[in-house]
Chain A
Amino acid sequence: MSAPDKARHLRGVVAALVVLALLAAVPFGLDKFAVQFTTRVLIMALFASSLNLIVGYGGMVSLGHAAFFGVAGYVLAFAAPDYEAANLWISLALATAVAALLAAAIGALVLRTRGVYLIMVTLAFGQMLFHLFHDGSFSGGSDGRYIYVRPSANLFGWTPFDLDRHVHLYYLVLALFTLAVAGMAVMLQSPFGRALQGIRVNENRMRALGFATYRYKLVAFTLSGALAGVAGYLAALQFGVVNPEMLGWHLSGSALMMVILGGMGTLFGPALGAAVLLLMELGFQALTKHWQLLTGAVVVGVALLLPRGLAGIARLATRAADD
Chain B
Amino acid sequence: MRWLALPFDTFAIQLLNAVQYGLLLFLVASGLTLVFGIMGVINLAHGSFYMIGAYLAWSLAEHFGNLGIAIVVGVALSLLIGAALEWLFIRRLYDRDHLYQVLLTYGLILIVEELRSIVWGDDVHAVPVPDWLAASIPLTDTLSYPVYRLWISGVCIALAIAMAFVIQRTRIGMTIRAGASNREMAQSLGIDIRFVQLVVFAVGIALAAFAGMIAAPVSSVFPGMGNQVIIICFVVVVIGGIGSVKGALVAALLIGLVDTFGKVLELEVAGIPVLPELAGMSVYVLMAIVLLWRPEGLFGKRAP
Contact = CB atoms under 8 A, between A and B. Distances in A.
A302 B291 contact: no
Interface on chain B toward A: helix, strand, loop, or mixed SS? helix
Interface in A120-139: 120-121, 123-125, 127-128, 131-132, 134-137
A299 B106 contact: yes
11 contacts: A109-B292, A113-B291, A117-B238, A119-B98, A125-B284, A127-B231, A257-B106, A293-B111, A303-B104, A304-B89, A304-B104
A72 interface: no
A233 to B, nearest CB: 24
Q: Which interface residue of A109, A124, A292 has the most chain B CB atoms within 10 A?
A: A124
A137 B280 CA distance: 13
Contacts of B109: 253, 296
A113 B108 contact: no
A60 to B, nearest CB: 10
B229 to A, nearest CB: 12
B295 interface: yes
Interface residues of A, number: 44
Nearest to B100: A303
A121 B99 contact: no
Contact of A117 (B110, B281, B295): B295
Given A113-B295, A300-B104, A303-B103, A128 B110 contact: no
Contacts of A264: 99
A156 to B, nearest CB: 38
Interface string A132-169: 10111100000000000000000000000000000000
Given A116-B42, A127-B284, A303-B107, A256 B102 contact: yes
Interface in B61-111: 89, 92-93, 96, 98-104, 106-111
Contact of B291 (A109, A134, A137, A260): A109
B42 to A, nearest CB: 5
Report the contact-size class of chain B (Cβ under 8 Å from the partner): 35 or more
Interface string B270-296: 000000011111001101100110011
Interface stretch (B112-120, B139-147, B188-196, B245-253): B112-120
A46 interface: no
A253 B279 CA distance: 25
Contacts of B288: 109, 125, 128
Given A117-B295, A124-B238, A125-B284, A302 B103 contact: yes
Interface string A247-260: 00100010011001
B210 to A, nearest CB: 23
A298 B103 CA distance: 11
B242 A297 contact: no
Contact of A116 (B89, B98, B104): B98
A109 B290 CA distance: 11
A112 interface: yes
Contact of B114 (A296, A299, A300): A296
A117 B242 contact: yes
Nearest to A126: B231
Contacts of B108: 296, 300
B297 to A, nearest CB: 8
Contacts of A63: 102
A61 B98 CA distance: 9
B4 interface: no
Given A117-B295, A117-B303, A292 B89 contact: no
B237 interface: yes
A24 B127 CA distance: 57
Contacts of B278: 131-132, 135-136
Nearest to A115: B98
A174 interface: no
Nearest to B99: A61
B42 A256 contact: no
B110 A295 contact: yes
Contact of A297 (B101, B111, B277, B295): B111
A8 interface: no
User: Which of A113, A120, A125, A134 has most B Cβ within 10 Å?
Assistant: A120
A116 B36 contact: yes
A177 to B, nearest CB: 24
B234 interface: yes
Contacts of B281: 128, 131-132, 135
A292 B291 contact: no
B237 A134 contact: no
Contacts of A307: 96, 100
Contacts of B107: 295-300, 303
B206 interface: no
The listed residue with most B CB atoms (<10 A of its CB), out of A136, A296, A302, is A296
A236 interface: no
A6 interface: no
Contact of B117 (A55, A121, A128, A290): A290
Given A127-B284, A135-B280, A303-B100, A290 B291 contact: no
Contact of B277 (A115, A135, A298): A135
A11 interface: no
Contacts of A302: 103
Contacts of A299: 103-104, 106-107, 110
The 9 closest A-B pairs by CB, nearest first: A299-B107, A296-B110, A128-B284, A131-B280, A303-B104, A296-B111, A293-B114, A300-B107, A303-B103
A293 B107 CA distance: 9
A136 B111 CA distance: 31
Given A120-B238, A136-B278, A297-B111, 14 more contacts: A61-B102, A109-B292, A117-B242, A119-B98, A124-B287, A132-B280, A134-B280, A253-B109, A256-B103, A257-B106, A293-B111, A295-B110, A296-B107, A300-B104
